[in-house]
Structure 1
Amino acid sequence: MFRRLSDRNESWISFTFDGVPMTARQGDSVAAALLAAGHCSTRQTPVTGAARGPYRMMGVCFECLVRIDGRSNRQACMIAVTNGMLVETQDGAAGAEE
């Protein structure tokens, strides 16, 4: 569904998504890296369990919430992926203390 526009010679970094090793271009947002890898869903809604994922890619809709390095409610579209980052699907609502 999504693909990169070019394969320029760029730096690649490693991260994991739900325990699976992945790569991303240096400077990619978490959402862009996940979409490029074929993952369109980043969370499930707390009420119905419906899948949600990146939508507007500019930080206004909160559809792309994930757990990053142990912290819930992180907007994947607003955070640059870093080497060794641990990204997890967020299931339902996460408390403010997480």
Structure 2
Amino acid sequence: MAQETDGRPVVTISVDGAPLEARAGEMLTTALARSGLLRLRQSPRNGAPRGAFCHMGVCQECALHVDGAVRQACLTPVRAGMAVERRGVL
């Protein structure tokens, strides 16, 4: 594992089947945004892209599938090997 300047190890996670490097322990929304992945899901009602909004677990806009369960990305710390699937993003 490589070390980042803040001392946290860099780990690999899977996002929509592709590998992504992130810092262990950072919130998943941070890791995704750093990699340019701002679209987290699509609205089931009108297909509009949705992303992180409140960053404190209130709005549910960042809900993703993490290791098979729906989780809020703003409250989910990154850990090595986690599998993330964005919901309906094209």
TMscore range, shorter length: 0.7 to 0.9
* Separation (CA, whole Å) in 2 of partners of 1:9 and 1:83: 16
Matches within 5 A, 1:1-98: 7-72=5-70, 74-91=71-88
Q: CA deviation at 1:9?
A: 4.2
Shift of 1:91: 2.4
Q: Offset at 1:70? A: 1.1
The corresponding residue for 1:3 is none
* C-alpha displacement of 1:7: 4.2
After TM superposition, the score normalised by the length of structure 2 is: 0.86
The 1-side partners of 2:77 and 2:36 are apart by 18
Over the aligned positions, Cα root-mean-square deviation in angstroms equals 1.7
Give structure 2 stretches of 5+ with no counterpart: none
The alignment partner of 2:36 has SS state of coil
Q: Name the TM-score, length of structure 1 as normaliser.
A: 0.80
How far apart in 1 are the matches of 2:36 and 2:5?
A: 17
Q: Could you list the runs of 5+ residues in structure 1 that have no partner in the other structure? A: 1-5, 93-98
Where has structure 1 moved over 4 Å in runs of 4 or more? none
Give distance in 2, aligned partners of 1:10 and 1:80.
Answer: 12
**Number of residue pairs matched?**
86
Code of the aligned partner of 2:28? V
Q: Per the alignment, in what secondary structure is the counterpart of residue 87 of structure 2?
A: strand
